[in-house]
Amino acid sequence: MLSTKIDRNQKALDQLDDISKKIDRNQKALDQLDDVGRILRENEQNLKDLGGLKHRLDTLDKIMVSVDKIAGSIQTYQQEQVLNSNKLSSHEERLETIEKHLHFPSIA
């Protein structure tokens, strides 16, 4: 039963690692989108001189809406990671207390 709890905790830790990796990838994508946005802002006059400016700005708005959604998802992942980390810490403390009470050897 204790090993099952430990396995569940390890699986939860592995899931947190996966989420952290996804956050890192999403952060890199956001950084790239920020660079694109900066370049677009720097070249705004050039864009105005080109035909179809309204269409391009509409496209940029759609991109920025998507970026906002991604940023919201990343923030949610980060908040979940903090919550899960706190839960796992609490579980670890509880397991240590139980192990001490039952005189189990510690696994470290």
- The C-alpha atoms of residue 2 and residue 94 are separated, in whole angstroms, by 11
Residue type, 6: I
In a 13 Å sphere around the CA of 78, the CA atoms on its Cβ side amount to 10
Total of domains in the chain = 1
Is 18 part of a structural domain of the chain? Answer: no
Residue 37 counted as domain residue: yes
CA dihedral sign of residues 30, 32, 38, 43: negative
What is the C-alpha separation between 21 and 82, in angstroms, rounded? 15
Residue 64 domain flag = yes
Q: pLDDT tens-digit profile of 45-102?
A: 776 666 666 777 888 899 999 988 988 888 888 888 877 777 777 878 888 888 888 8
Range of the domain at 59: 24-101
Question: pTM of the predicted model, to two decimals?
Answer: 0.35
